[in-house]
């Protein structure tokens, strides 16, 4: 798998929330409000917020949106990079064991399907 998953793929980057999760959102007057931007970044791969929302939701609510990673060139590679970056950040922050173990397991599962 490795670098081959992203070979020749242009990865669009832009603003990202960094901790886009259900508990950082509210709906008011049919509009989505997003807060808690301390993890925001200016140059993040687009799509990582969607991956984070799915992973964070599965930890708290026990459901996870599944992505068709084969549908878009480079999507599987980006998801693997997201999981690796998320695991490293979670370890660095010395977050809860459940979050670390979930990310480790998700990364192992994805690598096993390559």
* Run of H or E residues at 45: strand 41-45
25, β-bridge pairs: 34
Q: Tokens for 18? A: 């960094």
Query: What pLDDT, on a 0 to 100 scale, did the predictor assign at position 44?
Result: 94
What percent of the chain has pLDDT above 70? 90
Query: What pLDDT, on a 0 to 100 scale, did the predictor assign at position 62?
Result: 63
Query: What pLDDT, on a 0 to 100 scale, did the predictor assign at position 66?
Result: 72
Neighbours of 47 (CB within 10 A): 19
Cα–Cα distance between 99 and 56 in angstroms, integer? 9
Query: Residues 7-11: contacts with CB within 8 Å, 24+ apart?
Result: 8/73, 9/73, 9/74, 9/77, 11/45, 11/74, 11/78
CB contact at 8 A, 70 and 53: no
Q: Tokens for 51? A: 């991956």
pLDDT at 91 over 80: yes
pLDDT at 84 over 70: yes
**Residue 17 burial (10 A CB sphere; 0-12, 13-18, 19+):** buried
Query: What pLDDT, on a 0 to 100 scale, did the predictor assign at position 16?
Result: 95
Q: In terms of pLDDT, which residue wins out, 31 or 103?
A: 31
Could you tell me the pTM of the whole model? Answer: 0.79
Query: What pLDDT, on a 0 to 100 scale, did the predictor assign at position 33?
Result: 94
């Amino acid at each position: 798998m490795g670098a081959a998953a992203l070979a020749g793929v242009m990865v669009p980057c832009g603003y990202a929330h960094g901790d886009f999760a259900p508990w950082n959102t509210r709906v008011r007057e049919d509009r989505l409000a997003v807060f808690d931007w301390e993890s925001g970044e200016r140059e993040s791969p687009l799509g990582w917020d969607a991956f984070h929302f799915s992973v964070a939701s599965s930890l708290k609510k026990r459901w996870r949106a599944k992505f068709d990673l084969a549908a878009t060139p480079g999507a599987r590679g980006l998801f693997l990079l997201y999981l690796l970056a998320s695991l490293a950040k979670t370890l660095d922050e010395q977050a809860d064991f459940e979050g670390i173990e979930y990310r480790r397991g998700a990364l192992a599962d994805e690598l096993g399907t390559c």
